[in-house]
């Protein structure tokens, strides 16, 4: 049996529907009703009232005890922020689907674990020898005991060397600073055939792409209160989340989420719209010396994130959620231009392929297609103007620093690129990294704090200085710019 992604999703849904679960559609990826969250980061977000025992009795969900869906998630800010990994690795996206099943005060760990095992091994046919399970090993400071019950449940299926305890970081799941939470048990998949447990075990939760976390089963029993304490909830719940793109890569036998039918149509569209001579080649890290494949991954990931966020009512802007989106767009456009030679305007033209591919699952995409494209095209063209000038500015500054034997870009320069050229810090950091330089991020933050603290008038006066670049006549000529001569050194000009 082969596993196209649409079948993978459908089989998950069928499995839990047959076990008495009700389909509750994905909530928007923009949590309009939850001020504690930047973006929806897990399937459980919309079920906070269920876990807290606060569902309105008039709600159609009041009597629902078991639910399932595929939830749209964005992890690009807040407690779960994967933005910096995206493009560099093969299994973190900023936008992904999370397949989930829930019990609201109904079944607990025994059923949740038995069904997870059955679905993965019997239905999807994943060999059990490729799987590891983790459980919560306890925490003295939090006065939480190890979850021996879960360990025993896994030992029915797996040998002891494949059932591993971990601490709070990996096996106590929390959505944010506050909210429902609890110990969890996770399933990890070894992409390498025939590796023995002793060699595989150290790679679990170690950031190794060959041994990847697939499914998290959270046993929700607490609420993290605003004062940081854990309050025991009146009932115990099950909240699971499985990365859909990761599962597809496992079932399609690939080494990377990106080498699946989830991303293939997007890569084809990217090649078409950028005119890049090379198709996506799947190389990572040092093998991807030109950065072309990383750029493909960044662009493919980010068009998904932006399209879904805009469809759900967010727009790029200067603050909060909108600022995160603006940064993501700029990262994508800049990667496209630099590594794929993308022309201005390529990014929004990727939207139709995405819509076509996923509209049967998320119909809001098709309904909002025109709006998404307009917003992206506007944002892209305004960024295009600053990008060109900013890259040039960076090049000249970095050249001057390197000629003087320096490797750190000062904080005020990074801040100028941010404030006047719209370069997010991570973009400047990427540019610096490419030349073997670093950015004084602390200095940048200081500049930022200073700017915030100053009155508007003082701020304007200051930016008049910080924004100036002193150049020699040749450098100016190379830029095709005219400067104002410095009063105390007429061989130098201010640009
Ligand atoms: P990881 O340790 O790999 O970063 P996580 O522990 O942060 O994952 P959870 O919060 O447990 O992830 O989320 C549940 C599941 O969602 C994970 O087991 C994984 O399959 C999937 N997932 C999490 N983050 C991402 C992501 N950035 N991109 C794709 N899938 C993800
Ligand atoms: Mg993570
Ligand atoms: Mg993890
Ligand atoms: Mg996890």
Same-domain check for residues 199 and 312: no
Same-domain check for residues 240 and 268: no
Same-domain check for residues 247 and 283: no
Q: How many folded domains does the chain comprise?
A: 3
Same-domain check for residues 27 and 105: yes
Closest CA to 383 of 445, 450, 302, 459: 302
Same-domain check for residues 244 and 292: no
Q: How far is the CA of 184 from the centre of ligand 3 (A)?
A: 10
For the chain, residues with pLDDT lower than 70 are: 455-495
Asked whether 213 lines ligand 1 (CB < 6 A), one says yes
The answer to the question of residue 471 being in a domain is: yes
Q: Which long-range contacts (CB under 8 A, 24 or more apart) does 163-167 make?
A: 163/132, 163/133, 163/134, 163/135, 164/132, 164/133, 164/134, 164/135, 164/201, 164/204, 165/134, 165/135, 165/136, 165/137, 165/138, 166/134, 166/135, 166/136, 166/137, 166/205, 167/136, 167/137, 167/139
Closest CA to 30 of 77, 99, 84, 91: 77
The answer to the question of residue 326 being in a domain is: yes
The answer to the question of residue 445 being in a domain is: no
Helix, strand or coil, per DSSP, at residue 473: helix
Same-domain check for residues 187 and 313: no
The answer to the question of residue 447 being in a domain is: no
What confidence score (pLDDT) does residue 475 get?
60
Residue where a domain terminates, one of 251, 281, 297: 251
The answer to the question of residue 92 being in a domain is: yes
The answer to the question of residue 423 being in a domain is: no
Same-domain check for residues 288 and 183: no
Q: What is the DSSP string of 91-144?
A: S--SEEEEEEEEESSS--HHHHHHHHHIIIIIIS---GGGEEEEEE--BTTTTB
- Supply the range of the domain harboring residue 468: 459-495
What confidence score (pLDDT) does residue 433 get?
87
Same-domain check for residues 270 and 371: yes
Protein residue with its CA nearest to atom 30 in ligand 1: 243
Residue where a domain terminates, one of 388, 411, 433: 388
What gap in Å lies between CA 65 and CA 41, rounded to an integer?
22
Asked whether 190 lines ligand 1 (CB < 6 A), one says no
The answer to the question of residue 171 being in a domain is: yes
Q: How far is the CA of 145 from the centre of ligand 1 (A)?
A: 24
What gap in Å lies between CA 129 and CA 150, rounded to an integer?
19
Same-domain check for residues 243 and 217: yes
Residue where a domain terminates, one of 341, 367, 388: 388
**ipTM of the shown complex:** 0.99
What confidence score (pLDDT) does residue 488 get?
55
Same-domain check for residues 271 and 223: no
Protein residue with its CA nearest to atom 26 in ligand 1: 92
Q: How far is the CA of 172 from the centre of ligand 4 (A)?
A: 9
The answer to the question of residue 424 being in a domain is: no
Same-domain check for residues 46 and 141: yes
Same-domain check for residues 236 and 371: no
What gap in Å lies between CA 132 and CA 212, rounded to an integer?
10
Q: What is the CATH number of the domain that holds 173?
A: 3.30.930.10
């Amino acid at each position: 049996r082969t596993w196209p992604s649409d079948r993978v999703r459908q089989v998950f849904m069928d499995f839990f529907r047959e076990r008495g679960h009700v389909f509750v559609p994905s909530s928007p990826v923009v949590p309009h009703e939850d001020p504690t969250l930047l973006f929806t980061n897990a399937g459980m977000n919309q079920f906070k009232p269920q876990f807290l025992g606060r569902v309105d009795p008039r709600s159609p969900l009041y009597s629902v005890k078991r639910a399932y869906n595929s939830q749209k998630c964005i992890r690009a800010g807040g407690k779960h922020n994967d933005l910096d990994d995206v493009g560099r690795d093969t299994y973190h996206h900023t936008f992904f689907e999370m397949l989930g099943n829930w019990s609201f005060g109904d079944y607990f760990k025994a059923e949740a674990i038995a069904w997870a095992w059955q679905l993965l091994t019997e239905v999807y046919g994943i060999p059990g020898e490729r799987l590891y399970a983790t459980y919560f090993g306890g925490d003295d400071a939090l006065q939480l005991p190890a979850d021996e019950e879960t360990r025993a449940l896994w030992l029915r299926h797996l040998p002891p060397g494949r059932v591993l305890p971990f601490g709070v970081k990996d096996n106590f799941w929390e959505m944010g600073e506050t909210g429902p939470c609890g110990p969890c048990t996770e399933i990890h998949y070894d992409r390498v055939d025939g590796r023995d447990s002793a060699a595989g075990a150290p790679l679990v939760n170690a950031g190794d792409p060959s041994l990847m976390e697939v499914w998290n089963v959270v046993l929700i029993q607490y609420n993290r209160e605003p004062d940081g304490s854990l309050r025991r909830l009146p009932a115990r719940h099950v909240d699971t989340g499985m990365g859909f793109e990761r599962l597809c890569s496992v079932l399609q036998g690939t080494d990377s989420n990106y080498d699946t039918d989830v991303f293939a149509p997007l890569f084809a569209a990217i090649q078409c719209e950028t005119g890049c001579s090379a198709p996506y080649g799947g190389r990572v890290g040092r093998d991807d010396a030109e950065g072309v494949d990383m750029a493909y991954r960044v662009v493919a990931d980010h068009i998904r994130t932006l399209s879904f966020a805009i469809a759900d009512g967010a727009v790029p802007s200067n603050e909060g959620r909108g600022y995160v989106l603006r940064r993501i767009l700029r990262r994508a456009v800049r990667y496209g231009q630099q590594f794929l030679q993308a022309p201005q305007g390529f990014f929004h033209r990727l939207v139709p392929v995405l819509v076509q591919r996923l509209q049967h699952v998320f119909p809001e995409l098709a309904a909002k297609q025109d709006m998404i494209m307009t917003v992206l095209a506007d944002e892209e063209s305004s960024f295009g103007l600053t990008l060109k000038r900013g890259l040039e500015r960076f090049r000249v500054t970095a050249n001057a620093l390197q000629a003087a034997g320096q490797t750190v870009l000062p904080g005020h320069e990074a801040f100028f690129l941010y404030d006047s050229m719209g370069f997010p810090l991570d973009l400047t950091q990427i540019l610096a990294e490419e030349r073997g330089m670093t950015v004084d991020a602390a200095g940048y933050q200081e500049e930022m704090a200073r700017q915030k603290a100053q009155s508007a008038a003082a701020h304007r006066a200051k930016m008049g200085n910080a924004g100036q670049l002193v150049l020699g006549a040749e450098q100016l000529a190379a830029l095709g710019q005219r400067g104002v001569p410095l009063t105390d050194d007429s061989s130098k000009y201010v640009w």
